[in-house]
Amino acid sequence: DAGVIQSPRHEVTEMGQEVTLRCKPISGHDYLFWYRQTMMRGLELLIYFNNNVPIDDSGMPEDRFSAKMPNASFSTLKIQPSEPRDSAVYFCASSSTVNTEAFFGQGTRLTVV
């Protein structure tokens, strides 16, 4: 397996624009996690899914953030409208159960100017 695949690796956008981050989990994994990493706040869990269903979205910072998982092999994290304070590295991770190791993607470095 190629591991967790995220795209794009880098995204630069202007404030107010919509941004969509994509993730393909490892085949057979039924948990998917979205994390955000910043210098100030470290690694924060935004939302996670089990069998494509959102289980806990309490970490989603604002209504501007939304996440979907239309099928077992694809998830998106959308920010609309984007703001400079959304600049961070966003990681997607997947696992076969919630309490075993999570495999991380390479991350998407988002810069909002």
Residue ranges that bind another protein, judged by CB under 8 A: 4, 33, 35, 42-43, 45, 48, 50, 55-56, 91, 93, 98-107
* Token pair listed for 64: 């501007």
Give the residue with the Cβ less far from another protein, 19 or 36: 36
Sequence-distant (≥ 6) Cβ neighbours of residue 47 within 8 angstroms: 33, 34, 54, 56, 57, 59, 60, 67, 77
Q: Minimum Å distance from CB 101 to another protein?
A: 5
Report how far residue 63's alpha carbon sits from residue 51's, in angstroms, rounded to the nearest whole number.
23
In angstroms, what is the minimal distance from the CB of 16 to another protein? 28
To another protein, the closest distance from the beta carbon of 81 in angstroms equals 27
